[in-house]
Amino acid sequence: MSSEFKIAVIPGDGIGHEVVPEGLKVLEAAIEATGTDASLDFTHYELGAKRWHETGEALTDQELEELRGYDAIFFGAVGDPDVPSGVLERGLLLKMRFGFDHYVNLRPTKLFAGVESPLANPGEIDFVVVREGTEGPYTGQGGVLRYGTEHEVATEVSVNTAYGVERVVRDAFARAQSRRKKLTYVHKHNVMVHAGHLWRRTVEKVALEFPEVAVDYLHTDACTIFMVTNPSRFDVIVTDNLFGDIITDLAAAVSGGIGLAASGNINPDRTAPSLFEPIHGSAPDIAGQQKADPTACVLSAALMAQHLGLDDVAELIESAVEKDLAARGGAIRSTSDIGDALAGLVAG
């Protein structure tokens, strides 16, 4: 039986408009090349800075509900220098992450053959960060007292629930079980004793269900050391929303750059569409210049294909990326040239 998947496409801002067309180009080439009888039906949404300037809205509640009807969301990036910081990030992207219960923010990190790492001796880098996606300091809890005065007080509260921590920790253990059976949980429980100890107790409890998985703990600051000095020690990392955001930019940097780092914002219970995006932002410093590497976006399309059960499509895209990276050397190519090359490799 053939299946049709409805995909909402949101390029967003800045280089989102350049990398998303390349992601779609490679994805469509892979669908055709595999001969799968599945088809993807794309609906484009113009959301981001332009639309915010026109209407004052980042994403309405009605649009959020409309998006709920899709099988997946393919996203570029959000954020614009002419929009107050946080308005689009919270109003568009985080509204979807929270609204669609994307509690697993999955960020695989791999040093592909032929890719140069800034580390002198990188060794093998192949790990996945499971970043909690719906809690922590990203919930918007907190506020400001005596705004604008010399007595101003600003709080940003980290929210951690037993339910929320346990479900993401269990997901990470299951991933470790099916990989190299090592889980590193990363927090800062020497200082953040309330949230940190909830994470610690939760990991200890769930570990009993996964006796084959070796568990390791690192404070976040020490994690950044080992990510640079010995990234091979990692298999699966589980951590909170903010720590996960920070360490995955570092993970991208040590494994060849932010332009290669893909992600999935996953709702594992499939009660709402999952969202796939490169981990980078809208990169205003290079936007509109065809300088962005679309590979992260292309690999995010592969993650989306895998999520939809199109494993052969995902594998074809990944192997095209591997071939292209192995042959790249120091060549400088435009965003669309890289997309064309990847689509060509996929077509065979």
Ligand X SMILES: CC(C)CC(=O)C(=O)O
**Is 138 an active-site residue?**
yes
Least distance between ligand X and beta carbon 262 (Å): 12
Annotated ligand binding at 200? The verdict is no
Counting contacts by CB under 6 A, is residue 135 touching ligand X?
Answer: no
Give the binding range for ligand NAI (CB under 6 A) out of 163-171, 172-180, 217-225, 291-299: 291-299
**Which among 6, 9, 2, 22 has a CA at the least distance from the CA of 291?**
22
**Which among 166, 200, 197, 206 has a CA at the least distance from the CA of 185?**
200
Q: Which of 195, 227, 279, 287 binds ligand X (CB under 6 A)?
A: 279
Least distance between ligand NAI and beta carbon 55 (Å): 19
Compute the distance between CA of residue 68 and CA of residue 11 in angstroms, rounded to an integer: 17
Among the options 188, 235, 240, 324, which is catalytic? 188
Restricting to residues 238-267, which ones interact with ligand NAI according to CB under 6 A? 258-259
Task: Tell me the Cα Rg of the chain.
Answer: 20
Among the options 80, 101, 240, 245, which is catalytic? 245
The gap from C-alpha 234 to its chain's centroid, in whole angstroms, comes to 18
Residue 165 CB contacts under 8 Å (≥ 6 apart), including other chains: 132, 135, 198, 199, 202
Compute the distance between CA of residue 240 and CA of residue 92 in angstroms, rounded to an integer: 21
Among the options 45, 70, 138, 185, which is catalytic? 138
**Is 269 an active-site residue?**
no
Report what 283 binds from Mg ion, ligand X, ligand NAI, none; CB cut-off 5-8 Å by kind: ligand NAI
**Which among 91, 42, 92, 97 has a CA at the least distance from the CA of 70?**
42
Q: Which of 235, 245, 293, 324 binds Mg ion (CB under 5 A)?
A: 245
Compute the distance between CA of residue 220 and CA of residue 211 in angstroms, rounded to an integer: 25
Give how far Cα 223 sits from Cα of 116, 229, 232, 234, 244, Å: 22, 10, 12, 10, 11
Give the binding range for ligand NAI (CB under 6 A) out of 215-223, 232-240, 279-287, 310-318: 279-287
Among the options 216, 249, 312, 337, which is catalytic? 249
Residues that bind ligand NAI (CB under 6 A): 15, 19, 77-79, 89, 93, 258-259, 277, 280-286, 292-293, 296
Annotated catalytic residues are: 138, 188, 221, 245, 249
Binding site feature residues for Mg(2+) = 221, 245, 249
